[in-house]
Amino acid sequence: MAPRKKTPAGATPATKTADGGATAGEAGVIGERDRVTLQKITDLAFNALAEVRRGKNPALSIPVRALSNVSFDQEAGLIRLGESRQSRNFFHLKQAKLFMQTFLIAEHCKKLIEAGATTSIRDIYYGAKHSVAGTKENTFEEQAESDPIIEDLEVTIDALREELHLRAENRGAMVGPMTIRDTGDTIDLRRMGSGGWSIPSIVEDNRIEFMKTEAEYILFIEKGAVWARLNEDRFWQKNNCMLLHGSGMAARGTRRLLRRMHEELKLPVYVLTDNDPWGFYIYSVIKQGSINLAYESMRMAVPQARFLGLMSSDAERFNLQPNVSMALKDEDSARIEQLMRYDWFAAKRWQEELALMKKTQKKYELEALSSRGIRFITEEYIPQKLRGRRGDSWLD
C-alpha cells in the first residue's frame, strides 16, 4: 500500500483499489477517493472567496519545497518535507498570476476528475492555456510554468498527482523475468524485444499488478544506452534480475515502480550510474527522495538501495586508463560542493568518493567500462560488484 504523508479521511488504503482509478470505463462514476479530492479543490476555492468577501487578501498556504524546508531523516533514510509554508496572495504584484494559475489548474483537475479522465501534464498545460481576457498575454507561456503549479496544488491540498488525474509522459523502460498486468493487459516482461516495457507515469496497484516473477534483484541503470547493451546480452536472464533504466533522472513512475517492487516483491535494488555528481544524485533520489518531491519520499524512496558505481575509486580498482576519463567542468565541481553539504551524502565513504572526484578532476561514463572489453560490464564488473563488500564494491 502506498504510504501517504497524511491519509485524508475516507481515503483509506483499503478503499483505494476499489474506488480509485479513472479508467474510461468508470467515467461518470465518482468514487470515494475522487470525491475527497474534489472536496479539497472546492474548499480551496470557497476559502479564497470567503477571504476576499471580508476584504482580505486571499492566500494559498503552500508547503515550501526547497532545501530550506527539507530534513534528512537519518533513521528512516528519507528526505522529509518540513513544516514551513509560504503564502501565495492574489493581491500581490508577483504572486497574482501564480494565484490565478493555481486555480486554473485546480479547475481543470476538477473537470478531469468529474469526467473520470486522466491526462498528461502536457495536456493540462494546453488545456489551461489561453490568452488572458483582453490581452495578448497567455495564462501559461510554457509547460515549465504549469508543471510547478501542479506540484504546488498537489502539496497545497495534499493530493497525489494521480488523485488529480494527471500523469507525466512515459519515461524509462523495464525488462526481466516477470509478468505484470497493465490496465487489464497481461504483459510478459521477458518478451519485450530490444526496447523493453515503457514505464508509465502512474503505476499504482489499480493499474499495474505484479503477477509472477523469478527475479532475485533489481538493477536500475541511469542510461538507456547501457541498459540496451545489457538487454542485448540478456543479462537479466542470466542473472535473474529486473533491468530498468530511467533515461537519466528517474521519473516519478519509475521511482514509484522501484519502490513497489522492492516493497511488495522484497527485491533488493541496485543502482548503476555514471561517475559524476549528477549520477550520484540520481542514486540519492532513488534511495532517499528528492528535495522537490520530499512530500512523496515515503512512497517513492528505497532506503535500502545500493550503489554499484561507477565510483571514483573504481578507476583504479578496474584499471581504467586515464584516456577514458573526462575532465570535470565548472558546473560539475560546483555540484560536487553542493552534494558534499547535503546531509544524505554525509557518510564517510560518500565524502571520500566526492573528495576523490574533486581531487582527480575526472569523471567517467558507464561506457568507459567498455574500454576493458564489450562484455566487461556484464561479465566482470557487475558480478564482481554484487559479490563484493559494502563500502568497497558498493555503497549505501
Partner 1 sequence: MTTEALIQEPEAPKQGRRASAEAMGAKQRDISVSEFFTKNRHLLGFDNPAKALLTTIKEAVDNALDACEEAGILPTLDVTVEEVSDGRYRVRVEDNGPGIVKEQIPKIFAKLLYGSKFHRLRQSRGQQGIGISAAGMYGHLTTGRPVVVVSKIGKGRPAWRVEVRIDSRTNEPKQLNDKNDTVTWDKDHGTSVEIELMGLYRGGRTSVDAYLEQTVVANPHLELSYKPPKGPLVHFPRVSELLPPEAQEIKPHPHGVELGMLIKILHESGRKHVGQTLMEEFSRVTEAVANELCKRAGIDPNAVGSRVDAAKIEALHAAMVASNAALPPIKKFASKVARSDTNLREEVLEEGTGFSPTLADLVIRRAGLEPTLKAKLVTPMMVEKFYAALHESQVKILPPPANCIVPVGEALVMEGLRRRFKGEFFTSHTRPPAVYRGNPFVVEAGVAFGGTLSKDDSADVLRFANRVPLLYQPRACAIHEAVLKVDWKSYGLQQRKGELPVGPLAIFVHLASVWVPFTSEAKEAVAHYDEVVREIRLALMECGRKLGAWVKAQQAERWETQRKSLFEKYIVELAASIHSITKVSEESVKADFHNALPNHVRIAVAPVEGSAPAALEGAAEGAAEGAEAPTEEATSAGDSSPPPPPLRGAGRPSEMPPELSDDGDGNPFEDVTPGNKRQLVLKMRPKSGRK
Per CB under 8 A, the list member of 6, 14, 28, 135 interacting with partner 1 is: 135
Cell of 284: 540519492
Q: Give me the active site residues, please.
A: 126
Q: 163: which DSSP letter? A: G
Residue with Cβ nearer partner 1 (69 or 237):
69
Per CB under 8 A, the list member of 41, 121, 175, 294 interacting with partner 1 is: 41
Per CB under 8 A, the list member of 6, 9, 53, 266 interacting with partner 1 is: 53
Q: Please report whether residue 126 would count as binding partner 1 according to CB under 8 A.
A: no
Segments of 184-278 assigned E as strands: 185-188, 197-198, 208-213, 217-221, 241-245, 269-272
Return the closest-CA partner of residue 275 out of 338, 219, 328: 328
Pairwise CA distance, residues 161 & 150, whole Å: 8
Q: Please report whether residue 304 would count as binding partner 1 according to CB under 8 A.
A: no
Binding range to partner 1, per CB under 8 A, among 132-140, 234-242, 349-357, 384-392 = 132-140
Q: Please report whether residue 161 would count as binding partner 1 according to CB under 8 A.
A: no
Residue with Cβ nearer partner 1 (52 or 225):
52
Residue with Cβ nearer partner 1 (94 or 191):
94
Residue with Cβ nearer partner 1 (100 or 334):
100
Name the minimum Å distance from CB 156 to partner 1: 14
Cell of 375: 562484455
Q: Please report whether residue 42 would count as binding partner 1 according to CB under 8 A.
A: yes
Bridge-based pairing of strands 326-327 and 362-363 is: antiparallel
Burial 361-377 (b: 16+ CB within 10 A, else e): ebbbbbebbeebeeeeb
Pairwise CA distance, residues 274 & 366, whole Å: 5
Binding range to partner 1, per CB under 8 A, among 99-107, 258-266, 329-337, 342-350 = 99-107
Per CB under 8 A, the list member of 14, 28, 83, 93 interacting with partner 1 is: 93
Residue with Cβ nearer partner 1 (50 or 211):
50
Q: Please report whether residue 139 would count as binding partner 1 according to CB under 8 A.
A: yes
Q: Please report whether residue 115 would count as binding partner 1 according to CB under 8 A.
A: no
Quickly tell me which residue has 494559475 as its cell.
Answer: 101
Q: Which value, in Å, is the radius of gyration of the alpha carbons in the chain?
A: 23
Q: Please report whether residue 134 would count as binding partner 1 according to CB under 8 A.
A: yes
Total residues interacting with partner 1, rule: CB under 8 A: 37
88 phi and psi angles, rounded to 5 deg: -115, 115
Cell of 40: 479539497
Q: Please report whether residue 104 would count as binding partner 1 according to CB under 8 A.
A: yes
Name the minimum Å distance from CB 26 to partner 1: 22
Quickly tell me which residue has 521477458 as its cell.
Answer: 190
Pairwise CA distance, residues 258 & 241, whole Å: 13
Write 107-112 long-range contacts (CB < 8 A, 24+): 109/37, 109/41, 109/153, 109/164, 109/165, 109/166, 110/38, 110/41, 110/42, 112/22, 112/164, 112/165, 112/166
Per CB under 8 A, the list member of 15, 111, 195, 225 interacting with partner 1 is: 111
Residue with Cβ nearer partner 1 (87 or 304):
87
Name the minimum Å distance from CB 307 to partner 1: 40
Binding range to partner 1, per CB under 8 A, among 60-68, 104-112, 266-274, 295-303 = 104-112
Per CB under 8 A, the list member of 1, 18, 46, 74 interacting with partner 1 is: 46
Per CB under 8 A, the list member of 18, 23, 56, 141 interacting with partner 1 is: 56
Binding range to partner 1, per CB under 8 A, among 9-17, 97-105, 208-216, 232-240 = 97-105
CA diameter of the chain: 73
Dihedral of the alpha carbons of 212, 214, 215, 216, in degrees to the nearest 10: 130
Residue with Cβ nearer partner 1 (2 or 106):
106
What are the DSSP calls for 325-376, one per residue? -EEPPHHHHHHHHHHHHSGGG-SHHHHHHHHHHHHHTEEB-GGGGGGG-TTI
Pairwise CA distance, residues 4 & 257, whole Å: 16
Residue ranges binding partner 1 (CB under 8 A): 41-42, 44-46, 48-49, 52-53, 55-57, 59, 86-87, 89-94, 96-97, 99-100, 103-104, 106-107, 110-111, 132-135, 137, 139
